[in-house]
Amino acid sequence: MAPPTTPVLVRTARPKPTEKATLLSIRNVAKTFGRNPVLRSVSLEIAEGEFLTILGESGSGKTTLLRIVAGFETASSGELWMGADRLDHLPPYRRRVNTVFQSYALFPHLTVEQNVAYGLRVARRPEAEIAQRVGEALDKVKMMAHAKKKPSKISGGQQQRVALARALVNRPRLLLLDEPLSALDANLRRQMQVELKSLQREVGIAFVFVTHDQEEAMVMSDRIALLRSGELEQVATPREIYSHPATAYVAQFIGHTNLLKGEVQNGIVRCGTLSWTTTLPDGPALFSLRPEHIRLAESSVSISLVRIRGRVTQQAFHGATDLVRVDCGGLVLVMRTASSNAALNEVELEFSASDAVVVRESPERN
Amino acid sequence: MFSRAYKTVVTLPPLVWVTVFLFLPYLLMFCYSFWSVSPSQTIVHSWNLDNYKELIQKTVYWQTLLRSMWIAARVMIFSLLLGYPLAYFLSFYAGKRKDLLYQLVIIPLWVSYLVRAYAWKTILGSDGVFNTLLQYAHLTKHPLDFLLYSPFAVVLTLTHIYTPFTFLPIYAALEHIPRNLVEASQDLGATPAQTFWKVIFPLSIPGVLAGATFAFVLSLGDFLAPLLLGGPSGIMISNIVVSLFGAAYNWPLGAAISLAMLVIVVSLLVFSERLEKKWSFS
């Protein structure tokens, strides 16, 4: 049996100026395969027209969550609601939800055009309407020229576009995308990220996008729901999740960070040789400090800055910036500086105490 | 990559096999079909087209050939009607019992053909299991004697024997269909029936063609089932060939009929393969 896990407080996004109505509400959804819990009580609200990314490592349960929403898996417990309708009692073909599959799942015996028309044909729409809507959809993804080709005759990126058109032509209320870009090479992926995002803005349909790539999640999403071992760690906007990670796991998963284990006593944090003032109550505390918030100390001294001396052990080139590992007497800090040819050696670092964000521990789950 | 000697050693056995057991016999048959038999029952090696003329002029031969094709066609249809649903169920709905059920379909293939044909004789005969049961249940007073020694008995037996041959390629084709295509179809709003007819069935057509070809070709050349269960009305073309090579001692005519059948079967295979290619997309 899994030990009882501490309830995870989910920091929600700050209310946006244009708060939209809830489209889909996932309530306490859990799923076990045999004795193996894949999802444990996930609750999530998806707003009309938003781009929500479910981010997680492989095995975090993100694809299972998506398949439960699509109707390919049944939740062991919990409910799905779309407006006033209970969604989880409907078979997949009765849900106004469409999916773009990881491997696109285009029908090999049908042409591009017939693939896109599939949903409208099975719904028995009039042929004139089908022709018009398929034309529009293919136009939107710039695949008109390949309408008569079989899927095996077009490239991966093109198949991707057809899969999108095939889903969007049905005007779903919600589009699910299961790692749709993972099969593409890096350049094409970046291009598709931009295209997908602008397409989503244009059609105004809510997208739920599943990925394991944190960079992709940051670039595309309105909100990110970070899933770990079947539980949501944090749901927030990319900026919020980056600047105020709720847990140590989130801080490490999204970007680089330094985790500082400190002890608070009478308004002072002590962490090795470092110390700064805080408003936190007494007791142990964990802090996340981003490498870009640490810099080489300047001559002018300020009381709000924390300083420490150290020796550079590694300097890695990352294009515009360098990531520098500094050994500060047992405490290793990673800092980000502007790229430079000059090798650093003995350095004095400083950071602003307010940039050390307190995070909760992420206990192991199994 | 491989040495010349290695290649020779590897290719030689199959080459010898094909030459000795396939090419030479067919060549011999081809020659025989243009020879004739003298009144004193010896083979005359004089080249002529008499056998082929007889084949066309004597109605008994081509009528039996047509009847054989009609029997084979029925076996093909019934095998498909049995084999397809079975394969579909096994591939999509059998779950954990899949392997067990698959074995159960295959096991009859281990039993000798002859045993299975005799089994049907025991079941269908006047004193057979089926008639005894009917009389015991007072459904009939006298045994039904049209069951055995009829084309019906032949079709039934051959369907029993060749259904696994139809099942196997269909099952393989169904197993080959990526399951996310089925999910995609449902996702796009297709009901289970629509998914079957618009996605699953079209993608299984190569298997259906292969299975249909197996059932038809194997039944067409069968001579044991009609011999044991067919009676006079259930005679098939192979029985005639057997008797021509045996008691009737007219090898040239037998060879001519065999070659005619060979042409029919090979053209069928070519045709079916073309269709299969047209319907495969991977």
- Work out whether strand B43-44 and strand A268-271 pair parallel, antiparallel, or are unpaired: unpaired
Binned at pLDDT 50, 70 and 90, residue A18 comes out as low
Query: CA-based diameter of chain A, in Å?
Result: 76
- Work out whether strand A51-56 and strand A206-211 pair parallel, antiparallel, or are unpaired: parallel
Question: Does A81 share its domain with A183?
Answer: yes
How far apart, in whole angstroms, are the C-alpha atoms of residue B243 and residue B248?
Answer: 6
pLDDT digits (tens, 9 = 90+) for A149-162: 999 999 988 999 99
Does residue A364 form part of some domain? no
When divided into structural domains, chain A yields a total of 2
Name chain A contacts of B194, Cβ cutoff 8 Å. Answer: 122
Question: Does A226 share its domain with A346?
Answer: no
Average of per-residue pLDDT across B34-49: 85
Question: Does A82 share its domain with A183?
Answer: yes
- Work out whether strand A357-359 and strand A346-352 pair parallel, antiparallel, or are unpaired: unpaired
HSE-CB of A323 using CA atoms within 13 angstroms: 11
Binned at pLDDT 50, 70 and 90, residue B282 comes out as low
How far apart, in whole angstroms, are the C-alpha atoms of residue A333 and residue A257?
Answer: 9
Question: Does A246 share its domain with A310?
Answer: no
CB contact under 8 A, B203 and A108: yes
Binned at pLDDT 50, 70 and 90, residue A84 comes out as confident
DSSP category for residue A12: P
CB contact under 8 A, A109 and B281: yes
The token pair at B77 is 């249809």
For A168, name the nearest residue in chain B, comparing CA atoms only: B188
The token pair at A190 is 């970046």
Does residue A7 form part of some domain? no
Per the document, the length of chain B is 282
The token pair at A266 is 């009478």
Residue ranges of A 29-68 with Cβ closer than 8 A to chain B: none
Binned at pLDDT 50, 70 and 90, residue A233 comes out as very high
DSSP category for residue B228: I
Which whole-number Å values give the CA distances from A174 to A61, A139, A209, B154, B202, in the listed order? Answer: 20, 21, 11, 58, 30
Does residue A127 form part of some domain? no
How far apart, in whole angstroms, are the C-alpha atoms of residue A205 and residue A294?
Answer: 41
Question: Does A69 share its domain with A218?
Answer: yes
How far apart, in whole angstroms, are the C-alpha atoms of residue B199 and residue B214?
Answer: 24
Instruction: Tell me if chain B has a CB within 8 Å of the CB of A91.
Output: yes
Question: Does A185 share its domain with A81?
Answer: yes
pLDDT digits (tens, 9 = 90+) for A93-128: 999 999 999 889 999 999 999 999 999 999 999 999
| Per-residue pLDDT at A318 exceeds 90 | no
pLDDT of residue A97: 93
| Per-residue pLDDT at A27 exceeds 80 | yes
Name chain A contacts of B180, Cβ cutoff 8 Å. Answer: 101, 103, 105
pLDDT digits (tens, 9 = 90+) for A61-82: 999 999 999 999 999 999 999 9
Q: How far is A139 from chain B (nearest CA, A)?
A: 20
pLDDT of residue A6: 46
Does residue A334 form part of some domain? yes
How far apart, in whole angstroms, are the C-alpha atoms of residue A72 and residue A65?
Answer: 10
How far apart, in whole angstroms, are the C-alpha atoms of residue A99 and residue A66?
Answer: 9
Name chain B contacts of A108, Cβ cutoff 8 Å. Answer: 181, 203, 281-282
| Per-residue pLDDT at A192 exceeds 50 | yes
Which residue, of A203, A236, A252, is where some domain finishes? A252
| Per-residue pLDDT at A15 exceeds 50 | no
CATH number for position A272: 2.40.50.100
User: Nearest CA to A37 among A56, A52, A55, A59?
Assistant: A59
Name chain B contacts of A122, Cβ cutoff 8 Å. Answer: 185, 188-191, 194, 198
CATH number for position A64: 3.40.50.300
Are the C-beta atoms of residues A85 and A71 closer than 8 Å to each other? no
Q: How far is A169 from chain B (nearest CA, A)?
A: 10
Q: How far is B179 from chain A (nearest CA, A)?
A: 9
Which residue, of A212, A235, A252, is where some domain finishes? A252
Average pLDDT, chain A: 88
Please say whether the dihedral angle defined by the alpha carbons of residues B151, B156, B158 and B162, taken in this order, is positive or negative: positive
Which residue, of A232, A252, A272, is where some domain finishes? A252
Parent domain of A303: 256-359
pLDDT of residue B169: 96
Does residue A12 form part of some domain? no
Does residue A267 form part of some domain? yes
CB contact under 8 A, B188 and A97: no
Question: Does A222 share its domain with A302?
Answer: no
**A101: nearest CB among B180, B198, B202:** B180
Question: Does A190 share its domain with A331?
Answer: no
Question: Does A201 share its domain with A350?
Answer: no
Binned at pLDDT 50, 70 and 90, residue A4 comes out as very low
Average of per-residue pLDDT across B4-33: 92
CB contact under 8 A, A98 and B188: yes
Does residue A114 form part of some domain? no
Most confident of A12-16, A180-184, A193-197, A273-277: A193-197
Average pLDDT, chain B: 90
Question: Does A236 share its domain with A297?
Answer: no
Question: Does A323 share its domain with A226?
Answer: no
Does residue A131 form part of some domain? no
Which ipTM did the prediction report? 0.82
pLDDT digits (tens, 9 = 90+) for A256-277: 899 999 888 888 888 888 888 8
pLDDT digits (tens, 9 = 90+) for B128-151: 788 888 888 877 777 777 778 888
pLDDT of residue A166: 95
- Tell which phi-psi region holds residue B38, choosing left (phi > 0), alpha (psi between -120 and 50) or beta: beta
Question: Does A248 share its domain with A266?
Answer: no
| Domains, chain B, ordered by start | 52-278 (1.10.3720.10)
| Per-residue pLDDT at A11 exceeds 70 | no
